[in-house]
Amino acid sequence: MKLPSGAAVLVSAALLASLTEVSGISAAQAAEARALPGVNMEATVKAAQIDPRRSDDTLTPGAKASVLLVERALRDRHLLDAKWVDGYFGTTTVAAFAKYQKSLGFTGLAANGLPGKASLTKLGAGRFKVTHVIGPGARVSAGGFVIDTRTRSMLAEAERLLGRDLELLQGSYNPGGDPTSAGTHDGGGVVDISVEGMNSAARTEAVRALRRVGFAAWLRSPDQADWPWHIHAAAINDTDLSSQAQHQIGDYYLGRNGLSGRGSDDGPKVTIRTWEEYQRR
């Protein structure tokens, strides 16, 4: 049944009134929130990983408008000089965002310079709304190691693609763990995976599957350092990443191997996607 236009307006008004009553905000506040520009959290976090590793001032595609809104808010809080308000989430902007997070009382991974949901929302109060919200989820146990639920979901999908289970050698949130990991496992989103019993082709397919679901993943060999054969995988856009893991992911986007020498990526070529982009494909 089609309502007359006047009746439809009355229904819409009544619906808005009931929704705002339930949420505890006024109709004026709801209208104001709708009018605010949006900061795409997915794109902003991605830029904060890639831009600091660039050798030029190329902007991360799809992130400029959101990054500018964040940088202007940091500028107005006297945390970022106006000359750095350019849509480029480089090291200066990362440092400014980390300083803002610390001003909120955040410490550790919550002050790593990556825009988390809580800090980004507080920064945007009255200025912008946060869209495409992402987060690592709760910490859980997997194979005797600690990871977050986002990482667990990604691993499960990689296993489904491969048709085999993957055995962890090292999990996340492991500060002071294996010194050869150089701090990459101190935060969330990073795991090492056993390749025992896999031939060369199977190892490559495992790396490919991990990359497809949103990991920056590489096969590591004893020739590179004092470690056994394994796969190192860091979840793109995990907001609990350590700074070292952030750098690895930026290098992955730039075609490098994630090691200190920043050599060329020697892994299988795939379309690089975050976990959220993979789910929407």
Nearest alpha carbon to residue 114 among 219, 250, 220, 207: 250
Q: Which of 87, 108, 131 is the last residue in one of the domains?
A: 131
Clarify whether residues 253 and 160 are in a common domain. Answer: yes
Clarify whether residues 98 and 150 are in a common domain. Answer: no
Q: Indicate whether 83 belongs to any domain.
A: yes
Mean of all residue pLDDT scores within the chain: 90
**So what's the pLDDT on residue 179?**
77
- Read off the pLDDT of each residue in 142-164 and give the average, rounded to a whole number: 97
Q: Indicate whether 259 belongs to any domain.
A: yes
- Read off the pLDDT of each residue in 40-68 and give the average, rounded to a whole number: 97
Task: Count up the domains in the chain and report the number.
Answer: 2
pLDDT of 3 higher than 80: no
Distance CA 76, CA 87 (A): 15
CA distances from 184 to 127, 174, 178, 235 (A): 34, 9, 10, 11
pLDDT band (50, 70, 90) for residue 31: low
pLDDT band (50, 70, 90) for residue 182: confident
Clarify whether residues 102 and 178 are in a common domain. Answer: no
Nearest alpha carbon to residue 54 among 86, 80, 91: 91
**So what's the pLDDT on residue 17?**
43
Clarify whether residues 54 and 178 are in a common domain. Answer: no
pLDDT band (50, 70, 90) for residue 24: low
* Distance in angstroms between the alpha carbons of the first and the last residue of the chain: 36
Q: Indicate whether 24 belongs to any domain.
A: no
Q: Which of 104, 131, 158 is the last residue in one of the domains?
A: 131
- Read off the pLDDT of each residue in 115-130 and give the average, rounded to a whole number: 97
Q: Which of 98, 131, 164 is the last residue in one of the domains?
A: 131
**So what's the pLDDT on residue 281?**
92
Clarify whether residues 90 and 223 are in a common domain. Answer: no
- Full domain range(s) for residue 87: 38-131
